[in-house]
């Protein structure tokens, strides 16, 4: 028996007892108790409904952003999709490069619910790269009275011979060379960091610090489990 049926039964019994209490005063106390129980149940149910409505409203107001970096014959574009029910504003774009350069751009692009927008990303973020560069991008968005940042995402930009971007793929995949902090050996850039399983630059930098500490402790052998192997490529 569900709560609604129990409540109806309690109300019916309470009404009968109220009527009976007019003729038999001794049942008046029982009727009062039942009425109080019904009122208490009603208050609890009302609070539950209010809380449910509040959670539903919060889910609707929450900003749901999906974005990716794309390349169209040179220009870099951020494709932003709105997966929520309310429009939001892309207020800023934050970019980090693998050599810890940072770029911050203000923007004012509105992305409507269920739609996608393309936002230009200046080419300076990968200028001077002869082959490839990893970028980490974070968007700052404004929704219904809510300002938030997306989780950072890594993208690898491949460069053509003329220094113009010609491809983009998700994830870190550039050359992260390592130099022993004790003897400064790099063996011509042959000591490379393995990027397998890494999602963010913070993860990459943490692994790089661990690899450099391995080099310091094992110098001159320069051994580390985080060196790139043939199968990593």
Rounded to whole angstroms, how far apart are CA atoms 116 and 67?
9
Instruction: Count Cα atoms within 13 angstroms, Cβ side, for 191.
Output: 20
pLDDT confidence bin for 32, thresholds 50/70/90: low
pLDDT confidence bin for 1, thresholds 50/70/90: very low
Percent of the chain with pLDDT over 70: 71
Q: Which residue has the higher pLDDT, 27 or 172?
A: 172
Q: Full-prediction pTM beyond 0.85?
A: no
- Region of 61 on the Ramachandran plot (φ > 0 left; ψ -120 to 50 alpha; else beta): alpha
Q: ∠ CA 188-193-198 to the nearest 5 degrees?
A: 160
Q: Which residue has the higher pLDDT, 178 or 31?
A: 178
Rounded to whole angstroms, how far apart are CA atoms 129 and 116?
30
Q: Give the pair of three-digit tokens for residue 156.
A: 């690898």
Number of helical (H) and strand (E) elements in the chain, helices listed first: 3, 9
């Amino acid at each position: 028996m569900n709560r609604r049926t129990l409540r109806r039964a309690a109300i019916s019994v309470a009404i009968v007892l109220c009527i009976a209490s007019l003729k038999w005063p001794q049942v008046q106390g029982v009727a009062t108790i039942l009425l109080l129980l019904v009122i208490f149940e009603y208050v609890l149910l009302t609070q539950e409904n209010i809380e449910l409505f509040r959670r539903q409203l919060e889910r609707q107001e929450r900003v749901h952003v999906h974005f990716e970096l794309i390349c169209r014959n040179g220009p870099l574009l951020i494709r932003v999709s709105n997966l929520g029910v309310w429009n939001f504003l892309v207020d800023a774009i934050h970019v980090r490069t693998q050599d810890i350069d940072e770029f911050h751009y203000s923007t004012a692009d509105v992305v409507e619910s269920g739609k996608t927008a393309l936002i230009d990303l200046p080419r300076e973020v990968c200028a001077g790269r002869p082959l490839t560069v990893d970028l980490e991008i974070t968007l700052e968005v404004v929704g219904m009275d809510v300002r938030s940042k997306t989780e950072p995402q890594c993208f690898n930009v491949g460069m053509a011979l003329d220094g113009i971007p010609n491809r983009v793929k998700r994830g870190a995949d550039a050359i992260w060379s390592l130099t022993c902090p004790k003897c400064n050996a790099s063996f011509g850039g042959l000591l490379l960091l393995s990027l397998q399983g890494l999602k963010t630059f913070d993860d990459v930098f943490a692994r790089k610090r661990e690899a450099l500490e391995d080099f310091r402790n094992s110098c001159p052998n320069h051994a580390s489990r985080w060196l790139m192997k043939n199968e990593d490529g």
